[in-house]
Amino acid sequence: MLATDDIDAWTTLARETLARYEVPLVREVATRLIKPRTPIADDELVDRCMSLLSNPPVLDRRIKDLPDPARKILALIGISRQPVWKVGHLITALATLGHSEGFAPVLALLECGLLFPVLPKGDAPVPAFEPWLGLAGTLHAKVYALPTVAARARGESLGLPTLTGETISTLTPRFADGLDWPLRLSVVWQLIAESPARLTQNNSLFKRDLARLQITDSLTGADDPLPAPDPGILAFFWAQAAGLLKEGDGDWIAAPFPLTWGPTLAPGIADLWSALCAVESWDPLTGYAPSDGGLSPTPTTGILALLLLARGDEPVTNWLDPQQIADWLWEHHPSWPGLISQNAARTRGRDWIEAYLLGVAYPLRLIEAAQLDGWKVRLSDLGRYLLTGAPEPLPAPAFPQTLLVQPNAEVLAYRQGLTPQLIGRLSRFAQWKGVGPACTLELTPTRTYHGLETGLTLAGILQTLNQHGMKPVPPAVADLLRLWANKRDRITAFASATLVEFQTPADLEAAMARGVVSVRVTDRIGLTDDGRDPDFQHLRLIGNRDYEAKPQRCIAVDDDGVTLTIETSQSDLLLEAEIGRVADPVSGDVPSVRRFKLSPTSLRRATTLGMTVSDLDAWFISRTGNLLPASGRLFVLGPTLPAPTVSRHLVIHLPSSEIADGLMQWPETADLLTSRLGPTTVVVEDENLSRLQGVLAELGIVLSESDRGTISRSMLPS
């Protein structure tokens, strides 16, 4: 959603749209727009088009040259201040104005570069407009005009009739302060800030969100001649169209208040007026009206009803009966009569027109109203500014001291001092309770915290309350705000920070002294206070690691099985958290070398933390490529196994495993041996030694006692 006054963003969008036209199409558009005397190279077409679109005198000539219906489309877009329109709505509005050419005027504007298609995301080129329209669907396809271009057409005639009004000097006009809808949108903004909303694929509300938006208590305005039905739902879709809500991961969340919500009323109301023209899922009589695939009559009927009030030569101070507006629209609007309720149809739509004008336009201060045999309406000063080109009304006198902060943390806000800017600011840190003649807010921990999250400071909040307060903020309330704000400093979460790891603690100290980092995380790791990249001029980068990348092997195990050497270039941050659980750092190494050592103590620590041998194996495989080394296994498993035993044995060392095999197999010798220790070693009990020697002697084998007890080689059978 681009802000209407963000000229650069719209220019960039138009350039990107033109760049997606295939060359024959952009050439066709350029020919009609630029009317060049000499051929233009392909790579200059877009630049030349953009250059002309920022040339007011030439633009005026192009607009004047347009066919009547095309010119009226631009005028309607200009007056509405809404750059983006559905093609279906433009065709409906044109039909109401007496033009039944259908899509042709829209196509004419597309072909001469004064209107652009809203293209789906991606790079798909646009060969022609008809295929794009076919894919997007004629009724719901969207087009946009550059705000600067549409503004040039604002003064063009729409051909609306001049309805005869009445001059009634005895009438006392009623007019609103224009704050009701900004306040209601702010209440809904807070609802969504606390809990985002989600829409179905048909852009309608789910039950849960429908229920919480159908609130009325806190939305009752100061002066509602005819309260709008489902004001919360209207406020939601209106806030969506006005950019107060934005889409994120399928949810609609609160967005920053626009800059147009400033210290004076007119810019903010102009913004809301332009957004109103895009609100579809609401009907002035029935309230929430989700689309069933067709087009809602609300945008076109609403804007045309107001434009009928801005009639030609008639003094705009004359009063009109809403029936006059309804009668004309009843006769000329192609779909509105068929879409409103039967009850409303009995009065030829008078109730609908009254509900729209008095429930929406009046609180927005676009019209004044008076009662004489029913309601009479006329444009207000703000309405004339937006719809007839009258000068912007002078801002109302400022009443900066308009808040009363009470000791119970409630705030009374008197409307005469409220501005859209103050409404937006208060919405960030105080909860709206009521938006009636005297608005009420409540300071709460949640709202205070939200305000701090959106960039406000405690000092800023207090400043706002004191600056606009009739009295200083009570000390008890200031203390409460301070307490709530301090709670926020207890935990700091960095969603995506850059951590800087130094080789030594001394390097980290030096970095902090130089201001490279300001937050110490460990004795060697720091970060800046905003978590962003540090100033690299003080650093020599020796590694760069993405936290979200998979952990990789980065440890070499020495032959002793207990010394672990970290390969610094490969290591990741998680290693710092993990390795301390299983090993202890080795001191005395040079800064570029980092070693850790397994020990019975360190591995006992790991098992105390719940790591099993399998866990240790898994960790070692991920970090070294091999299982927990044997030394480490000894430390972990040793205490858990049955106690080993020690005993003294006579061990016979044999020259070969074949001899050992034979001795173990031949019953005469096997019965004398206790066990076999290895391939060439067997055990004999002391009491059997002499008998064994005797048996071996019969074989010609001399078993002599020595330190190692070997058999004489000369006695071996050949």
The distance of closest approach from Cβ of residue 205 to other proteins in the complex, given in angstroms and rounded to an integer, is 23
Question: Which among 43-51, 230-238, 368-376, 544-552 is the span making contact with other proteins, rule CB under 8 A?
Answer: 544-552
The distance of closest approach from Cβ of residue 87 to other proteins in the complex, given in angstroms and rounded to an integer, is 33
The three-state DSSP-derived secondary structure of 450-480 is HHHHCCCCHHHHHHHHHHCECCCCCHHHHHH
H or E segment at 343? Answer: helix 342-346
Question: Which among 183-191, 272-280, 470-478, 568-576 is the span making contact with other proteins, rule CB under 8 A?
Answer: 568-576
Among 342, 496, 587, 714, binds other proteins (CB under 8 A): 496
Residue 547 found at the interface with other proteins (CB under 8 A):
yes
Residue 631 to residue 634: CA distance in whole angstroms: 5
Question: Which among 123-131, 140-148, 382-390, 451-459 is the span making contact with other proteins, rule CB under 8 A?
Answer: 451-459
Nearer to other proteins, 246 or 346 (CB): 246
Nearer to other proteins, 551 or 709 (CB): 551
The distance of closest approach from Cβ of residue 514 to other proteins in the complex, given in angstroms and rounded to an integer, is 6
Give me the DSSP letters along 30-42. HHHHH--SS---G
Residue 536 to residue 541: CA distance in whole angstroms: 8
Among 8, 43, 292, 546, binds other proteins (CB under 8 A): 546
Nearer to other proteins, 434 or 445 (CB): 445
The distance of closest approach from Cβ of residue 502 to other proteins in the complex, given in angstroms and rounded to an integer, is 5
H or E segment at 526? Answer: strand 525-527
Residue 631 to residue 561: CA distance in whole angstroms: 5
User: What CA–CA distances, in Å, run from 625 to 218, 552, 556?
Assistant: 64, 9, 9
Per DSSP bridges, beta strands 403-405 and 410-414 are antiparallel
- Residues from 508 through 537 that contact other proteins (CB under 8 A): 510-511, 514, 516, 519, 521-522, 525, 527, 529-533, 537
Asked if 59 and 95 count as a contact pair (C-beta separation under 8 A), the reply is no
Among 419, 572, 631, 660, binds other proteins (CB under 8 A): 572
Overall size of the chain counted in residues: 718
- Residues from 394 through 423 that contact other proteins (CB under 8 A): 421
Nearer to other proteins, 459 or 495 (CB): 495
User: What CA–CA distances, in Å, run from 177 to 382, 416, 533?
Assistant: 10, 8, 48
Nearer to other proteins, 250 or 455 (CB): 455
Nearer to other proteins, 477 or 527 (CB): 527
79's tokens: 């007056």
Give me the DSSP letters along 604-632. HHHHHTT--HHHHHHHHHHHHSSPSPHHH
The three-state DSSP-derived secondary structure of 247-316 is EECCEEEECCCCCCCCCCHHHHHHHHHHHHCCCCCEECCCEECCCCCCCCCHHHHHHHHHHHHCCCCCCC
Among 502, 596, 619, 620, binds other proteins (CB under 8 A): 502
Residues 81-120: x where in contact with other proteins by CB under 8 A, - otherwise, as a string: ----------------------------------------
Nearer to other proteins, 466 or 498 (CB): 498
Residue 256 to residue 243: CA distance in whole angstroms: 8
Nearer to other proteins, 170 or 544 (CB): 544
The distance of closest approach from Cβ of residue 222 to other proteins in the complex, given in angstroms and rounded to an integer, is 23
The distance of closest approach from Cβ of residue 496 to other proteins in the complex, given in angstroms and rounded to an integer, is 5
Buried b (16+ CB within 10 A) or exposed e, 452-464: beeebebeebbeb
293's tokens: 């695939």
- Residues from 231 through 290 that contact other proteins (CB under 8 A): 256-257, 259, 261
Give the DSSP letter of residue 218.
G
622's tokens: 């991920």
The distance of closest approach from Cβ of residue 399 to other proteins in the complex, given in angstroms and rounded to an integer, is 20
Nearer to other proteins, 514 or 604 (CB): 514
CA angle in degrees (0–180, nearest 5) for 21-22-24: 115
Nearer to other proteins, 249 or 292 (CB): 249
Asked if 255 and 244 count as a contact pair (C-beta separation under 8 A), the reply is yes
Nearer to other proteins, 286 or 522 (CB): 522
Nearer to other proteins, 421 or 622 (CB): 421
The distance of closest approach from Cβ of residue 7 to other proteins in the complex, given in angstroms and rounded to an integer, is 17
Residue 432 found at the interface with other proteins (CB under 8 A):
no
User: What CA–CA distances, in Å, run from 339 to 101, 165, 205, 352?
Assistant: 22, 28, 21, 11
Residue 540 to residue 408: CA distance in whole angstroms: 56
- Residues from 575 through 614 that contact other proteins (CB under 8 A): 576-578
- Residues from 476 through 495 that contact other proteins (CB under 8 A): 484, 487-495
Residue 182 found at the interface with other proteins (CB under 8 A):
no
The distance of closest approach from Cβ of residue 262 to other proteins in the complex, given in angstroms and rounded to an integer, is 8
Tokens 């009323």 map to which residue?
A: 265
Question: Which among 62-70, 206-214, 333-341, 454-462 is the span making contact with other proteins, rule CB under 8 A?
Answer: 454-462
| Total of residues contacting other proteins (CB under 8 A) | 69
Nearer to other proteins, 577 or 637 (CB): 577
The distance of closest approach from Cβ of residue 83 to other proteins in the complex, given in angstroms and rounded to an integer, is 21
The distance of closest approach from Cβ of residue 27 to other proteins in the complex, given in angstroms and rounded to an integer, is 41
| Backbone φ, ψ for residue 703 (5° rounding) | -105, 105
Nearer to other proteins, 102 or 196 (CB): 196
Find, among 24, 300, 18, the residue nearest to 146 by Cα.
Answer: 18
Nearer to other proteins, 104 or 512 (CB): 512
Backbone CA torsion sign across 587, 590, 596, 600:
negative
Residue 503 found at the interface with other proteins (CB under 8 A):
yes
Interface residues with other proteins (CB under 8 A) are 256-257, 259, 261, 421, 424-425, 428, 445, 449, 452-456, 484, 487-503, 506-507, 510-511, 514, 516, 519, 521-522, 525, 527, 529-533, 537-548, 568-569, 572-574, 576-578
